[in-house]
Amino acid sequence: MLHPEALDPVAGLLNQYKKHLRLSFGSREETAESFLSQLTSYLAEQVPEMMSTASQDGLVHEICWQAKKYRLQIALSPAWLPAVAEDLAREQVYLAVFGPFAAQKWNIMHRYYTHPEFRNFTGYFDPWQRLKMNISRGGLFTYFDWFFRDVYGLKFFIPEEFSLALQNFGLLRYNDEK
């Protein structure tokens, strides 16, 4: 818990750090803020009738498409996600979180996929390692893979541990991911 007087300065510093995170895509390098902006621009071109707004700091993009709401945002850690996933699911908002999760042993998050609000409404994407954990029904998430393919010539992969965890939970049968 932070002292209320320290909350705004600390949040400001964290947001500055998130904005300037460097992503390397082969020969191209970009900031996380630029990456998220390019993704949203790509979606605006490719997805018919999509409407988008960005937060003032550029780290959160709200999208409305096919009467569904999506939130795309940069995060340093997925640790805060359990606290908000239930609220967003109640509001029927899909959440795509982009961050350096693979380096943080994000496999601890597998267990949350036993909860419907996680399965149906959230997806983690790690552009640094080109990995994703996502089984959401949010149709817009499909375009993320196309964005990486079309803009960077890269492909997202599903970590083997995630597929195994889904099998252990009974959410995925053997060879369903192939």
Would you state the pLDDT for residue 63?
94
Residue 176's pLDDT band (boundaries 50, 70, 90)? low
pLDDT digit string, tens, across residues 103-144:
777 766 767 777 777 778 888 888 888 888 877 777 888 898
Q: What is the mean pLDDT of residues 142-164?
A: 84
**Which residue do the tokens 């082969």 mark?**
26
User: Among 154, 151, 152, which residue's Cα sits nearest to residue 46?
Assistant: 151
Average pLDDT along the chain: 81
> pTM higher than 0.85 for the full model?
no
Residue 46's pLDDT band (boundaries 50, 70, 90)? very high
Would you state the pLDDT for residue 72?
92
Q: What does the DSSP 8-state code read for residue 83?
A: H
- Is residue 178 predicted with pLDDT exceeding 60? no
C-alpha separations of 145 from 3, 9, 73, 85, 100 in Å = 41, 35, 16, 23, 17
β-strand partners of 126: 131
